[in-house]
Amino acid sequence: MNKRLIVIGGGAAGFFCAVNAARLCPQLEVLLLEKTGKLLSKVKVSGGGRCNVTHAAPDIGYMAQRYPRGQHFVKKAFGHFFVPDTINWFAERGVELKTEADGRMFPVTDSSQTIIDCLLREADLYKISILMQQEVTALQRTANGRWQVQLQHSPALDADYLCIAAGGYAQADKFNWLKATGHTIAAPAPSLFTLNMPGHPITALMGVSVPKALVKVTGSKLQEQGPLLITHWGLSGPAVLRLSAWGARELQQMQYTFTALVNWVPDYHENSLREEMQDLRHSLGGQKMYNKNPFELPQRLWQFLLQQAGIHETVRWADMPAKAQQLLVKNLVAMELPVKGKTTFKEEFVTCGGVQLTEINPATMESKLQPNLYFAGEVMDVDGITGGFNFQHAWTSGYIAAQAIAKC
């Protein structure tokens, strides 16, 4: 009798496990369950619809450092399937990837549909059965040691192997069906979100972006530098998204209410900028401050900062009052922005938390507590910053699980 693998979850990790297990072990019957009516939904929206497949990391150590949770685990896993393997896997199936200046990798078509079509073709080629609208409610061992999968609206299914690739959950109670297998769950917390500043005048600058800014959270060690985007609700951009990933648990404890300090000119600190201001007063003395922006900041932001310091549009550099200069320096290097709340970054919702990594073997993705139970993707307590890192973890863990199952 042919053995059966059931993969729970129709996202990147689930598909990658299913198609590779079926390819590596042709006699294996593979069934994929998806609880919604959509397959690969995160693949579709990732990278603004282009799908940020992976990241062109120079080595495993560099890559592992981009995971706020799970660094040691992914470091071991990447030894089995890493970025070059991902690139080759897709290339062998006619999907070429390209690298952008910041290291993010996309299909050359700039369309996530290319990745979706590739995975669906593989599923079709290896005759994987896909069942939609199938929510799993419980997992049980049968008398003969197989798994029984209880479904909400359908009869139970039996399997020899299970791979759980159900993604992250926002609420802890959603993990109850997994806890029943004896696994420990690290409590979930949102990761990759933008910061809300309701009613703050800076939101009038929505659409303004700064190529390099430093964002800090007061009362913590959290800080990130990089591109920053002002939105109609607050702050976004890579610097903020990285900050939200590294600070996921800390910011949750703060209930997303804190003060962000922004240095718009991170090449300066307060003392060096004060000295620079004195030089500018001499060198640009006769010019109007509103017209002459020496820090290469977006013009709308520069004028906003002058307004916040109480500097009128007719004021020349030489005539800037000492009090106004003090305020301008402070707002340039340490502008205080009160944060109250967060917003999910587009539809790229990521959670930290999930199945405790000490209970999973990184070389096989098999549970250390339950034989023939495997995990892949975000259901584990692993999450990366934005830039293709979460997808690489999905491909890696899905492939390793498939390889281990195919050997059984």
**Residue 183 banded pLDDT, cuts 50, 70, 90:** very high
Q: Which of 100, 17, 114 is nearest to 395 (CA)?
A: 17
Q: Would you say the pTM of this structure is higher than 0.75?
A: yes
Distance CA 297, CA 328 (A): 14
Do residue 129 and residue 28 come from a single domain? yes
Do residue 182 and residue 200 come from a single domain? no
Burial call 389-408: b when 16+ CB within 10 Å, e when fewer: bbbbbbbbbbbbbbbbbbee
Do residue 181 and residue 196 come from a single domain? no
Residue 366 lies in a domain: yes
Residue 386 lies in a domain: yes
Q: Which of 252, 188, 248, 256 is nearest to 224 (CA)?
A: 248
Residue 139 lies in a domain: yes
Q: Which of 386, 399, 371 is nearest to 159 (CA)?
A: 371
The predicted pLDDT at position 346 comes to: 58
**Residue 344 banded pLDDT, cuts 50, 70, 90:** confident
The predicted pLDDT at position 345 comes to: 63
The per-residue pLDDT for range 8-49, each reduced to its tens digit, is 999 999 999 999 999 999 999 999 999 999 999 999 999 889
As a whole number, mean pLDDT of residues 101-105 equals 95
The per-residue pLDDT for range 125-172, each reduced to its tens digit, is 999 999 999 999 999 999 999 999 999 999 999 999 999 999 998 889
φ/ψ bin of 215: left (φ > 0), alpha (ψ from -120 to 50), beta (otherwise)? beta
Do residue 125 and residue 183 come from a single domain? yes
CB hemisphere CA count around 226 (13 angstroms): 15
Residue 365 lies in a domain: yes
Residue 172 lies in a domain: yes
The predicted pLDDT at position 347 comes to: 54
Do residue 85 and residue 150 come from a single domain? yes
**The last residue of a domain, from among 262, 289, 311:** 262
Proportion of the chain above pLDDT 90, given as a percent: 94
Residue 290 lies in a domain: yes
Do residue 240 and residue 359 come from a single domain? no
3-class secondary-structure state, position 119: helix
Do residue 116 and residue 145 come from a single domain? yes
Residue 207 structure tokens:
């659409």
282, pLDDT greater than 80 = yes
Distance CA 390, CA 43 (A): 11
Do residue 12 and residue 72 come from a single domain? yes
Q: What is the total count of domains within the chain?
A: 3
Do residue 159 and residue 131 come from a single domain? yes
Distance CA 158, CA 281 (A): 78
Strand 54-55's sheet: what is its strand order? 54-55, 104-107, 97-99
**Helix axis angle, 83-92 to 389-407, nearest 10°:** 70
How many residues does the structure list for the chain?
Answer: 408
For residues 263 and 292, which has the higher predicted lDDT (pLDDT)?
Answer: 263
184, pLDDT greater than 60 = yes
**The last residue of a domain, from among 262, 291, 315:** 262
The gap from C-alpha 236 to its chain's centroid, in whole angstroms, comes to: 13
Domain that includes residue 114, residue range: 4-189+346-407
Do residue 210 and residue 294 come from a single domain? no
The per-residue pLDDT for range 345-402, each reduced to its tens digit, is 655 568 899 999 999 999 999 999 999 999 999 999 999 998 999 999 999 999 999 9
Residue 277 lies in a domain: yes
Proportion of the chain above pLDDT 70, given as a percent: 99
Do residue 225 and residue 176 come from a single domain? no
The H or E element spanning position 211 is strand 209-217
Distance CA 240, CA 232 (A): 15
Residue 341 lies in a domain: no
Residue 58 structure tokens:
């120079």
Q: Cβ neighbours of residue 193 under 8 Å, at least 6 residues apart?
A: 241, 244, 342, 343, 344, 345
Burial call 25-57: b when 16+ CB within 10 Å, e when fewer: beebbbbbbbbeeebbbbbbbbbeebbbbbbbb
The total of other beta-carbon atoms located within 10 Å of residue 219's CB is: 10
**Residue 201 banded pLDDT, cuts 50, 70, 90:** very high
Residue 350 structure tokens:
């990521």
What is the 8-class DSSP label of residue 367? B
**Residue 408 banded pLDDT, cuts 50, 70, 90:** confident
Do residue 33 and residue 67 come from a single domain? yes
220, pLDDT greater than 90 = yes
Residue 245's domain is classified under what CATH number? 2.40.30.10
**The last residue of a domain, from among 311, 336, 361:** 336
The predicted pLDDT at position 364 comes to: 98
Q: What is the CA radius of gyration of the chain?
A: 25
The total of other beta-carbon atoms located within 10 Å of residue 279's CB is: 10
Residue 135's domain is classified under what CATH number? 3.50.50.60
The predicted pLDDT at position 349 comes to: 66
**Residue 84 banded pLDDT, cuts 50, 70, 90:** very high
